[in-house]
Amino acid sequence: MVKNATYLILLSLIFTSCASKKYLMEDVKNFKKENHLSTSKDFMITSQGHYSSKAAKEVIDKGGNIIDAMAAISFVISVERPQSTGIGGGGFLLFYEKKTDTVHAFDFREKAPLRSDSKMYLDKSGNEIDRKSLDGIFAVGVPGLVKGVLEIHKKYGKLKRADVLKSAIDLARNGMPVYEELRRALKGREKVLCKYESSKKIFCPGGELLKEGEVLKQNDLANTLERISRFGEKDFYHGETMRKIVSTSKKYKGLLTRKDFRKYNVVNRRPISGTYKNLKIYSMSPPSSGGVHIIQILNILENTNLKKNGPYHPKSIHYVSSAMEMAFADRAAYLGDSDFVKVPLKGLTSKKYAKRLFDKIKENEAFKKEDISKGDAPAYESDHTTHFTIMDKEGNTVVSTQTINGWFGSGLVAEGTGIVLNNEMDDFSTKPGAMNLFGAVGSKQNLVAPEKRPLSSMSPTIVFKDGEVKLGVGTPSGTRILTCVMQTILNYFEYEKPLYEAVAMARYHHQWRPHQIRFDEASLSSSVVSELEEMGHKVKFKNLGCRIQAVAKEGDVITGVSDPRGEGKALGF
């Protein structure tokens, strides 16, 4: 009897402590700081890979500049994180050049093949063909990463191309142990990676998926990178590498042709910009939705006083998530590649429109599903892509988010190249109202068209205060990218948290569909959950998957934080 009573008390204690588990400021202190926090006076790199951050340091030690460091990271991270980025993919990059006081924005996102069309993922009855936009050759957009990185490097770098490619070639050739996240990604894509001979040879040798700790060597990729080192983009867009990719496409009756590669172009875009109180924010413009909605959400929130209640007060969460919800409804209706469709950027980022949206939020009541618009609840998906941030003592800053989309992209390696081909085509709407891998709803604005770029959420962002650069920030994780970046800005500037805490603090996300707020796991006290539910919010716990890489200039000191949830490295020197 006594034993039973003790057992019940114990159980209730465990239950109470779980139910009120907090993963807020107190728990931030329990995260490991080694590798994730660094300070320096001269140079700071934060990336999702140890080899990548170190390679960037090596080129700086050789006399390179921030752009040489950017090129080195881009190629090494392609080898180190074949599950989430690579030369078979694309990305966006913002570069704040102190000398000219200019923020440059580069778009090297994949483009739809010339032979693609808006119905390519539908059967004769107009239904989506299962996984056609996700697995195999039809999922592949024309890769832009090599051209993007090399063009930027040619214009602003100091070192030779061979100097910035050396570490990537060595890493691919010598190999590296499979780490936990890589193993998880391999497991998640086992079916497709062990199906194609060209992919199997690298990731599933002899039919057995590589295990954690086993060495992953990528010899074909090393040879491809060597060719790029010698011949530059000519190899990738006109030479041997292009021929090998096109021949793989032909083998599987895909759409890619030589002309697709010949016509691929990098775009120097005007970054999207806006203000929040005394901050000036620059981020990526369409075909990314990221910058537009970061600015839209902050514009809405400028109408309330978040600081008064603090970041985890139910009222703050209610206002922030309602603003997110309205922004995502607009994303679904208006966003697409602005080279092809009209995107009302001015309206979406105007303070007047934001005030109108703010006025719709009731103080103590969540929007009902039908209040904003109609739609069905999709499943959430995973946390791919990669991001790095670099800053030097002058304030020059590079933020770049790069991706092959889902884990291991299409799962198809172009034969004889070691290149994992992307599945970026899934970021298009397969038909109006359909959802992508990340559960994002799309409209006809984002339908496939030849040479169009699929809508993205990637949000490399730079924040200025009083005319001085203060923060470079970005993250992977699909649609959560923009809300994670936005919350880091709020945590650092509005709530005035130190950078490490601003990154480590629990985050949440509302993307209109599904009609719920998704919180980092175990991140909220039960009383806050109850209050939110009383307002009519649905609350779900599932990690958002963001891995913020942030660098802040704080007087003479540069602080770098690589999200402690991940396996990255902040490296100052």
Catalytic positions are 385
Residue 57 to residue 75: CA distance in whole angstroms: 14
Give residue 229's Cα distance to chain centre.
27
Residue 303 to residue 317: CA distance in whole angstroms: 15
Residue 446 or 457 having the CB closest to ligand GLY = 457
Residue 51 or 92 having the CB closest to ligand GLY = 92
User: In one letter, which amino acid is 7?
Assistant: Y
Residue 302 or 427 having the CB closest to ligand GLY = 427
Please state the closest distance from residue 509 (CB atom) to ligand GLY, in A.
14
Question: Rg of the chain's alpha carbons, rounded to an integer?
Answer: 23
Residue 30: helix, strand or coil by DSSP? coil
Residue listed under structure tokens 């307002």: 535
Please state the closest distance from residue 400 (CB atom) to ligand GLY, in A.
13
Residue 356 to residue 330: CA distance in whole angstroms: 14
Residue 236 to residue 455: CA distance in whole angstroms: 24
User: Cβ neighbours of residue 13 under 8 Å, at least 6 residues apart?
Assistant: none
Q: What are the contacts of 427-433 at 24+ separation with CB within 8 A?
A: 427/454, 427/455, 427/456, 428/112, 428/133, 428/452, 428/454, 428/455, 430/121, 430/122, 430/128, 430/133, 431/119, 431/121, 431/122, 431/126, 431/128, 433/375
Please state the closest distance from residue 384 (CB atom) to ligand GLY, in A.
7
Please state the closest distance from residue 401 (CB atom) to ligand GLY, in A.
8
Please state the closest distance from residue 457 (CB atom) to ligand GLY, in A.
4
Strands across the sheet containing 461-465 = 37-40, 557-562, 549-554, 468-474, 461-465, 279-283, 272-276
Structural contact between residues 399 and 94, judged by C-beta atoms closer than 8 angstroms: yes
Residue 314 or 409 having the CB closest to ligand GLY = 409
Residues that bind ligand GLY (CB under 6 A): 385, 403, 405, 427, 456-458, 478
Length of the chain: 573
Beta bridge partners of 508: 519
Residue 555: helix, strand or coil by DSSP? coil
Please state the closest distance from residue 14 (CB atom) to ligand GLY, in A.
39
Residue 160 to residue 133: CA distance in whole angstroms: 38
Residue 112 or 570 having the CB closest to ligand GLY = 112
Residue 479 or 523 having the CB closest to ligand GLY = 479
User: In one letter, which amino acid is 111?
Assistant: K
Angle at 551 between CA 106 and CA 42, to 5 degrees: 100
Select the residue whose beta carbon is closest to ligand GLY and give its number.
456
Please state the closest distance from residue 62 (CB atom) to ligand GLY, in A.
32
Residue 246 or 544 having the CB closest to ligand GLY = 544
